[in-house]
A and B are shown apart, each in its own frame.
Chain A
Amino acid sequence: MGLENLGKIFDSLSRGRHISYVDGDLFESLNKAPGEYRALFMDLGFELVASSRGFYYFDGSGGRGLSSSVNRIALFVYIFVEHSADHGEGITDAVGNGLHRLSAMPHLDSERYRKYLKNVGVETAEHLSDILRQMDNMGFVRKIDEDQFRFLPPVYRIIDACEAVILANNIEEEVENE
């Protein structure tokens, strides 16, 4: 039996999309035979990663030109996480269940957040819209309309990467102290 939706799956994954439950048939097809897809993609030189959080993506070790996008997305997410925590929202709930409005996001309301965002060239509401659109393309969020969105499980790739930053900084500080 042939692998279902192979073309569409490959097209999505190779463009940097993370496939999760919102991708319907594509996700279902991958779920049915992840090992077979993985072996096939491996032959083509792509590594299919199945996350335990319920999504698939291509390891993009050869990715190029996306650093600025990931920077901006990461900062967008980290500000959201901090703000939610300060306002008594559980992160798991806020990321897992909440319907959010871009217009209600705190990113441009606080001087401190604006300062962080300026480091990655984000200064206007239009820039935030761009970030959201990129996140939608990559499968980190699902846009309901121009304003409303939900986070999707792949956003945990960004959230979990926090630890990498802290670890790198700790190593850097240790080296400086020696």
Chain B
Amino acid sequence: MAINPSRTLRLASELYPLLEAMAAGEHSLSRSMTLSEIRSFIDLKLPKKDRDAEGIVAAMEQNGLLEESVESDSAWEVPHAVAEFIRHLASRQRLTSPDRIVSILSEIAMQTASLQHAFENGDKDAAMHAWKNLQQGLEDTRGISQANHEAILQNIMAIKSKSDNRSLRERFLFIQELHSRYLSVLGEIVDVGGQMDQRLSELIGVIKHVGGAMINEPGVPEMSEKMLFLIKRLREDAWTHYHSAMKEIAPLFKQIRHDHGLAASASRVLELVGKKGGAALKPVVEQVKVSKWRAENLFSNYPLEDYVVGVREYSQQPVLGPLSIHAVEPIPIMLDEQALCSEIEDNGRIPDFLKWVFEHYGGFDEHCLVNAFHNVLMMNKYVTKVSGEEACLDTVRSSYYYNPVMIKHGS
């Protein structure tokens, strides 16, 4: 039956996860799948409505995407040409380790030595054999560079759009690996003086200097010219791919590393709060000091108060009174109830108002604090609720037994 290519590609697109798994051959050594294996796979990967295994196998077979396995009539495998195509597409989404480039570069070094040897001996067949291997090596290296570049861009887009479904920590580890295992290593390879630069310079040297001996052989000048073009293109492409990937990844890496640092610090602080309670947050309070000053306090500013008093008592010819020393009772500093109200409003809800007043205004006289407590409650300005459970508050002078009053700003 004739195959309709567009229908085949459409079907391949619909069943790509199955096709990719079968082409990769990761499910078994034989690269074939039985009907029950295909059924289990599609149960996991395909939408419920598309889970007719027999129908899928039949459609794939009709469209040239599957063929019966040589090992069994009840197993299927992806034809070689289709598998190659699928693997080629899949490699564009996956990162290839720079080690793979290093091994190809070693092969290029070996073939360069073979080419030099062939030139020196005037052996055209050996030279042609080395040419072919070198051409393959150069194209493979360029292909890996391009595929890696595309895979990196794809991963970056997934991170940016948050479709990677990773937590920030996972994302940080991923991008760190991408940066350190792929890009940094790739940079060392493609940079000036790097492994690739050295191998390609050696090859250029052989082509230009040693190859001169065979310049009159038919086909050699064309081959030399083509090889120099391939080297130039590889250098330019690898350099461009590397720098373009770096340009994309560097700001993202920086931001994710920064965010990850913040999140790790926040988690550590929460862990400390879990262990030590609210006391663990004391350094935050010390660092984030918030101004709290009100105009009502202006005249408690001593220098200004002295100045005002001085002006009031000024006289041009002061009458000097008798010198005497009185034992003066210190005047207790009064708590500014207006400031107290503002603090209540800032706090929103205070579960035990009396305890709070004593804790927050420790420098004031106890009478003054109890008065302020009483006066604020008498204002009927706030919502209050008396607790049914008795509490005790020990101060330097007294012990207070009371039912805590919750006070809250608002209705």
Q: Is A166 an interface residue (CB 8 A)?
A: yes
Interface residues of B in 261-293 (CB under 8 A from A): 262-263, 265-270, 272-274, 277-278, 280-293
Residues of A within 8 A of B361 (CB): 65
Stretch of B195-203, B224-232, B251-259, B307-315 contacting A (4+ beta carbons < 8 Å): B251-259
Interface secondary structure of A, over-half rule:
helix
Q: Are A85 and B260 in contact (CB under 8 A)?
A: yes
Q: Is B351 an interface residue (CB 8 A)?
A: yes
Contact partner of A60 (CB less than 8 A), chosen from B277, B292, B360, is B292
Measured as residues with beta carbon below 8 angstroms from the partner, the interface class of chain A is 35 or more
Interface secondary structure of B, over-half rule:
helix
Q: Is A174 an interface residue (CB 8 A)?
A: no
Q: Are B288 and A162 in contact (CB under 8 A)?
A: no
Residues of A within 8 A of B248 (CB): none
Contact partner of B347 (CB less than 8 A), chosen from A68, A77, A163, is A68
Binding site for B on A (CB under 8 A): 11, 13-16, 45-46, 57-71, 74-75, 77-79, 81-82, 84-92, 112, 115-116, 119-121, 126-127, 129-131, 133-134, 137-138, 157-169
Contact partner of A165 (CB less than 8 A), chosen from B284, B293, B348, is B284
A115-B274, A165-B272 known; A82+B263 contact, CB < 8 A: yes
Residues of B within 8 A of A82 (CB): 263, 266-267, 270
Residues of B within 8 A of A84 (CB): 168, 263
Q: Are B290 and A66 in contact (CB under 8 A)?
A: yes
Contact partner of A14 (CB less than 8 A), chosen from B168, B289, B293, is B293
Residues of A within 8 A of B164 (CB): 88
Residues of B within 8 A of A78 (CB): 266, 269-270
Q: Are B262 and A138 in contact (CB under 8 A)?
A: no
Q: Are B274 and A75 in contact (CB under 8 A)?
A: no
Residues of A within 8 A of B342 (CB): 15
CB B296 to nearest CB in A, in angstroms, measures: 11
Q: Are B277 and A92 in contact (CB under 8 A)?
A: no
Alpha-carbon distance between A137 and B346 when the two chains are bound, in angstroms = 8
Contact partner of A158 (CB less than 8 A), chosen from B270, B282, B284, B351, is B284
Q: Are A79 and B270 in contact (CB under 8 A)?
A: yes
Contact partner of B292 (CB less than 8 A), chosen from A64, A87, A157, is A64
A71-B284, A78-B269, A166-B265 known; A91+B291 contact, CB < 8 A: no
Contact partner of B291 (CB less than 8 A), chosen from A63, A89, A129, A168, is A63
Contact partner of A127 (CB less than 8 A), chosen from B171, B259, B301, B349, is B349
